[in-house]
Structure 1
Amino acid sequence: MTSTSVFVSGANGYIAQHVVKQLLAKGYSVVGSVRSEAKGEELKSLINNDKFSYEVVPSLTEKGAFDDAIKKHPEVTVFLHTASPVSFSIKDIENDLVKPAIEGTVNALSAIKNYGPQITRVVVTSSAVSILGFGPYFDSDKIYNEDDWNPITYEEGLTNPHFGYFSSKKFAELAANDFVAKENPKFNISFVQPVYVFGPQAYAVKDKANLNFSSEIVNRVVKLSKDDKIPEEAAEFIDVRDVARAHIIAFESDEAISKRLFLAAETYTLDSIADIINRRFPQSTVPKADLSKNAEILKTAHKIDNSRTRKILGFEFKTLEESVYDTVEQINNA
């Protein structure tokens, strides 16, 4: 057990709640930031642990956003920056998506440098979209690894919300690297870059209508009825509990310093998800999967080699079968 205190920004997010849960299970104290007191109180009642407290940081983009929260917690020695907007229904891509991601990251790092000299490790939750090429940049022959960068430009990122999300992650990560290079802070930094994240919510599901973006991929299949056609779609997945575990190893292990932890377990198609649901839940009304199409559909997924990341992490990732089962089981019982 440990007495280290860890700050988790955006603590009520899907991944962040798992991070908080695992930190508390390991004996860490956790301070989470949330946008409002109402969100803080709701999270506190879900978590129900004396070692968790929260601070309200209403806006990521205001200068000095994290200053007061950091000043109030001189006991914090690790900062996990998971807060970043994910929305595809926005009107103003630059101001609602790209800038908050970049400025939120720089504000957090500035606060740590200026007011948290005791903080020695920082982990930024990025995304595999800053590594992988999409749309015009998708290359079916390329094997992507930890050294790759999505070639998208800042300007291209402003053309639609999906490109906006790709660019927000890439340019927030580059801004963090620039900050470290220019400011030479006392902390070491690491990045966690998951592909699509599946798996159950960390705590009870209160609102099935509002699952996070990646869990909604599984939920979309759950909602199909017997006669519906299963869309032909393929990508890579990682379980949320493995993402949370990677955040902890990212600051506990010296091997992870300055590294990008590229998290992908295996590829999936919506047919393979439907197949798991039908096998594991006999009452299911999901359409019958046609696995014979998988080989063709999987050509649209990225090829990945994240062996360096797996070596640093040193644990086996959860399978698609386990992740989908646990997700659906929770949705069904909610």
Structure 2
Amino acid sequence: MSQHILLTGGNGFIAVHIIVLLLEQGYTVTTTLRSEGKATYLRKRFAAAVNEGQLRFAIVEDITVPGAFDQVVKDNKFDGVLHTSSPVAFSVVNVVKDLLMPAIDGTTGILKSIKAYGPTVKRVVLTSSFAAMNDREKGDRPGYVYSEKDWNPITEEEAKQVPGAGYRASKKLAEKAAWDFVENEQPSFDLVTICPPMVYGPALQEVTDLQQLNYSSAAFYALFSGKDQGPKQVPLWLWVDVRDVAWAHLAAIETPRAGNNRFLISEGTFNIAQVCDFIWKAYPERARTKGIPKSKSEDHGPPGGTYSSNNSKSKEILGVEYRNFGTTLKDMLDQFIALEVELGIE
């Protein structure tokens, strides 16, 4: 009998890639979504798995409500849980209500449900973020090497006061709350946290409008479409392919010695000049037609350099084999072109 995995937030950018891997490996998967309508695309994409009962759906409308996950945990005997559901937003009206509560309460809420009603669960894997590690106040930090030992020092009070800090705080505080829960409650399951920086690569989730892409993809499409005439470096210097993040989640479930560890999942550094240069080299006709800007010296990053990452732990324990930036860009940009054709965009 195959192992049964609970995956929260199954229609997300990373989550759909995880579903693909889990189904390929023969797992039975139950994924939570906010509404039945959110399941329509997944039912169609994974029709064979749905028909065979290998992929199932559970509706959890609001993950911040106490006991939100109680029913789905009670109704099933899960072997492991992958908690990917968390808001990704940078401009919100209410930082506490729109970011901090969903991230923190959603995380502690599912852990409480598993402890109370999921005695068969052996491991919980939490999708955290490099934002939980990165100290933005220290800037580019030339020569500094981030690793799993690093924690973002941001507090809830700072998140309320500093514009744009809410997302970073939500990831740090949610991950910290998860580790505190395991330490204080001593549940029968162990915890693994996965901390990726900027995540790129082909999208498997439903895309009905190229203006509604996930945050990381949207910045590159704005450049690739010619809309963005002034290339801007994204907030982080580190990146990773979405398929490698998905693999890390699978490995985190399957690798016994991964338990009670956090992992920085990052291939390395990048800058926006690499993206411009790649587009001009691989798609010269499009670059000319769309008026895509060529890179300038300042697009290559600070003259003094930036921080970098140590991914040795993820390679050694999880066995992650990272794709290079060129491979990721090519697969991502080719998909943008395919989506333009599919959606009738000139």
Pick aligned residue for 1:127 from 121, 126, 129 = 129
CA drift at 1:45: 1.6
Whether the aligned pair in 1 keeps the contact of 2:274 and 2:300 (CA below 8 Å) is no
Give aligned pairs, total.
331
User: TM-score w.r.t. structure 1 length?
Assistant: 0.93
Q: 1:158 aligns to what SS in structure 2?
A: helix
Aligned to 1:31: 30
Q: 2:56 aligns to what SS in structure 1?
A: strand
Amino acid at match of 2:314: T
CA drift at 1:266: 2.1
Q: 2:321 aligns to what SS in structure 1?
A: coil
Q: 1:182–1:232: structure 2 CA closer, same or farther, 3 Å change rule?
A: closer
Aligned to 2:189: 187
* Distance in 2, Cα, partners of 1:81 & 1:298: 39
User: TM-score w.r.t. structure 2 length?
Assistant: 0.90
1:70 lines up with 2:69 in the alignment: no
Correspondences of 1:103-142 after superposition (within 5 Å):
103-136=105-138, 139-142=141-144
Amino acid at match of 2:45: L
Pick aligned residue for 1:307 from 309, 312, 315 = 312
Correspondences of 1:188-227 after superposition (within 5 Å):
188-203=190-205, 205-224=207-226
Identity of aligned residues (%): 34
Aligned to 2:92: 90
Pick aligned residue for 1:320 from 322, 325, 341 = 325
Pick aligned residue for 1:172 from 166, 174, 186 = 174
Whether the aligned pair in 2 keeps the contact of 1:21 and 1:202 (CA below 8 Å) is no
Aligned to 1:16: 15
Whether the aligned pair in 2 keeps the contact of 1:235 and 1:298 (CA below 8 Å) is no
Q: 1:106 aligns to what SS in structure 2?
A: helix
CA offsets per residue over residues 24-43 of structure 1, 9 Å max, x none? 11111110000001112332
Q: 2:263 aligns to what SS in structure 1?
A: strand
CA RMSD of aligned residues (A): 2.0
1:246 lines up with 2:251 in the alignment: no
Whether the aligned pair in 1 keeps the contact of 2:268 and 2:308 (CA below 8 Å) is no
CA offsets per residue over residues 148-191 of structure 1, 9 Å max, x none? 10111221111245311111111111111111111111101100
Deviates more, 1:120-129 or 1:306-315: 306-315
Whether the aligned pair in 1 keeps the contact of 2:130 and 2:196 (CA below 8 Å) is yes
1:229 lines up with 2:234 in the alignment: no
CA offsets per residue over residues 216-239 of structure 1, 9 Å max, x none? 22212213369x333355611100
* Distance in 2, Cα, partners of 1:26 & 1:41: 23
* Distance in 2, Cα, partners of 1:163 & 1:6: 33
* Distance in 2, Cα, partners of 1:298 & 1:11: 41
CA drift at 1:146: 0.7
Q: 2:79 aligns to what SS in structure 1?
A: strand
Structure 2 residue ranges without an equivalent (≥5): 340-346
